[in-house]
Structure 1
Amino acid sequence: MRQILQNTIPYDVGNPRALPGIQPTTLEDWLHQDEAFSGQMQRREELLRDHRDDVLALDPQAEPAAQELLDMVLARVYPSAAEAVVRPDGATVLIDSSQPLDTLCKLVQEDFCILQKLGEEHVLTGAILCFPASWRLSEKFMRPLVDIHVPVQSYDANIAKRVQRLFDGIQPGRPLWRFNALWYEDSELFQPRSAHARREIPDRRENSFLRSERQTLLRLPETNAVVFSIHTYVLAAHAVAEMENPA
């Protein structure tokens, strides 16, 4: 049976920051790989094959940014790659520059959203989103930041302005990160949900799995697009208890 759940989370989910909750990080800590790598990569490839229209979208104007992102991931994770790479789980992935998001989907555990400044706001112009946490790519594609965060209750006009200023100020080589943490009834990684079918947020006593996204923001130096990456951690309740109460 393949492993899709992690046993630990490499940060303290018990100490969330107020929105937007941003902290500085480094390029060396941009992408993560954990014990669920093989199982999650298999799930990603299944979703790309069986639900392609639900997990991938790319506007033509975002194609140079997607290619730049692919080149950056290859340089950091697979620096010796030429026409193909061999992943840590032994799988061989062909590098297809004509389909940069497809290739990215098969290389790392992170999902990626590409946001470009169009007018006064950053707009979601491309994404490979295999593990959505209660939202649908089709509803957010080609929409600005404010619309992307609807209907998040805590994302009000003041937060929206702060986040837009934050996006404007992101510098190449100086990524930022934040995290969230929510309880879910099941461990499924693919959790699309329409904005019109809001999810009730129950307490942990009624749910068995903690889902946390490590989200990073990175400015691409050539195309100037902002990349929002998401590494999804899902832990069973007993693993969370072991983290909170180590022996």
Structure 2
Amino acid sequence: MIHDDSVPRHIPHLATPEVMSMGLRPLDPGDWIETDTSLSHFHQHTLAMRQLHGHAVYAALPGSLEAQQELLSLLCGHLLEDHADAYRRDGSGISSAAGGFHVALTEADPEPLWQASLLVADDLVIMQPSANGYLLAAASLASPSHWRLQDKLGQPIRAVHDPIPGIHRQLTPRIERFFVHISPERPVSRFNWALQSDPGLFHPAAPEATASSDTILYYRVERQTLRRLPCSGAIAFTIRVFLHPLAALSTVPGAIDALVSAVDATPPALARYKGFPSLRDALEQYRLKSAAEIHWPRRSPT
């Protein structure tokens, strides 16, 4: 099914208001990747970001090739079988009528993960087992949310999450246990949400405190999936970023009020990391506008 990406499809703070939560949900393998009307935009975005930023967008350790190839093969099978309305085999590659592009596929390509990332709107990451735990072994990262691939490549889970206040106390041991025990038959999904004051997808740096009460805000959601690759034993981690003007949430009853409450309940250190303090005045204006539209609707001209 090709979804309409012009309206918010996932509003995770309504179900999980905590900014930092495992929030794992069982995932039907047929729903591994979602396709929508932004597929062409993300394909072009991924190409453009690598051209601009190089190794900050795509990088891989030499020992990750087997897992990359396995992920590409698994992804192609999923797209052709479960999203036949959007993808078809075309010669030696795959074409997407939904996205208006063709991706050539060759067994000898040295960057299978890059090929895979051109097929979907998701960023793709491979976490590989090692003597030091699971390491970030390869990634195609065109839409990072406050982390830099060049800082994380080859690092274990704990180091990957280091900048996030409180995560080692609250979640890191659980995440490490989860990576050990996840099975190929039981993939999962989870969501992150955030706010930002510009419509950019490429956000490797933490937000700067430069917002005012009339700043336009954007609601940023990450739909993440994790699944074990059965042959290599690596874990495929997908990250699909959705970015909508915050005003789009005003049509969902209670969404703005719930967002204000979630921001206010975020612990101070984590709130600063997320850039919430600088956005709070602007967010309040959205809350007031939403309340006015609900309680005092504007009359139609007579």
TM-score when normalising by structure 2: 0.73
Give the structure 2 partner of residue 181 of structure 1.
193
2:79 equivalent to 1:77: yes
What amino acid is aligned across from residue 140 of structure 1 in structure 2? K
CA contact under 8 A between 2:12 and 2:193: conserved in structure 1?
A: no
Three-state SS of the structure 2 residue aligned to 1:96 is coil
Offset at residue 154 of structure 1 (A): 3.0
2:111 equivalent to 1:89: no
Q: Which has the higher helix share?
A: 2
Larger radius of gyration: 2
Give the structure 1 partner of residue 258 of structure 2.
none
**In structure 2, how many angstroms separate the alpha carbons of the residues matched to 1:210 and 1:202?**
17
Aligned-pair identity (%) = 27
CA contact under 8 A between 2:128 and 2:137: conserved in structure 1?
A: yes
Give the structure 1 partner of residue 248 of structure 2.
239
- Over 3 Å counting, the alpha-carbon distance change for 1:92 and 1:58 in structure 2 is same
Offset at residue 9 of structure 1 (A): 2.1
**In structure 2, how many angstroms separate the alpha carbons of the residues matched to 1:217 and 1:202?**
35
Give the structure 1 partner of residue 207 of structure 2.
199
**In structure 2, how many angstroms separate the alpha carbons of the residues matched to 1:204 and 1:63?**
47
* Worse-matched range after superposition: 145-154 or 14-23: 14-23
* Worse-matched range after superposition: 178-187 or 74-83: 74-83
Three-state SS of the structure 2 residue aligned to 1:239 is helix
Q: Deviations over 1:35-55 (max 9, x none)?
A: 222212211111122322111
Offset at residue 202 of structure 1 (A): 9.5
User: Number of paired residues?
Assistant: 239
2:20 equivalent to 1:31: no
* Worse-matched range after superposition: 47-56 or 214-223: 47-56
2:223 equivalent to 1:223: no
Alignment of 1:103-118 (within 5 A): 103-118=115-130
Three-state SS of the structure 1 residue aligned to 2:238 is strand
Alignment of 1:142-153 (within 5 A): 142-153=154-165
CA contact under 8 A between 1:110 and 1:230: conserved in structure 2?
A: yes
**In structure 2, how many angstroms separate the alpha carbons of the residues matched to 1:168 and 1:235?**
35
Residue ranges of structure 1 left out of the alignment (5+ in a row): none
Offset at residue 6 of structure 1 (A): 4.1
Give the structure 2 partner of residue 213 of structure 1.
222
Offset at residue 216 of structure 1 (A): 0.9
- Over 3 Å counting, the alpha-carbon distance change for 1:178 and 1:201 in structure 2 is farther
Offset at residue 13 of structure 1 (A): 3.1
What amino acid is aligned across from residue 137 of structure 2 in structure 1? T
- Aligned CA RMSD, in angstroms, stands at 2.4
Three-state SS of the structure 1 residue aligned to 2:115 is helix
TM-score when normalising by structure 1: 0.88
- Over 3 Å counting, the alpha-carbon distance change for 1:117 and 1:204 in structure 2 is farther
Give the structure 1 partner of residue 8 of structure 2.
8
- Over 3 Å counting, the alpha-carbon distance change for 1:24 and 1:154 in structure 2 is farther
Three-state SS of the structure 2 residue aligned to 1:189 is coil
**In structure 1, how many angstroms separate the alpha carbons of the residues matched to 2:209 and 2:240?**
21
**In structure 1, how many angstroms separate the alpha carbons of the residues matched to 2:22 and 2:242?**
20
Offset at residue 117 of structure 1 (A): 1.4
- Over 3 Å counting, the alpha-carbon distance change for 1:19 and 1:10 in structure 2 is closer
Offset at residue 244 of structure 1 (A): 3.9
Give the structure 2 partner of residue 131 of structure 1.
143
What amino acid is aligned across from residue 103 of structure 2 in structure 1? V
**In structure 2, how many angstroms separate the alpha carbons of the residues matched to 1:36 and 1:241?**
22
- Over 3 Å counting, the alpha-carbon distance change for 1:203 and 1:121 in structure 2 is farther
CA contact under 8 A between 1:8 and 1:243: conserved in structure 2?
A: no
- The structure, 1 or 2, with the larger RCO (C-alpha pairs under 8 Å, 6+ apart) is 1
Q: Deviations over 1:17-45 (max 9, x none)?
A: 66222111111111011222221221111
CA contact under 8 A between 1:55 and 1:128: conserved in structure 2?
A: yes
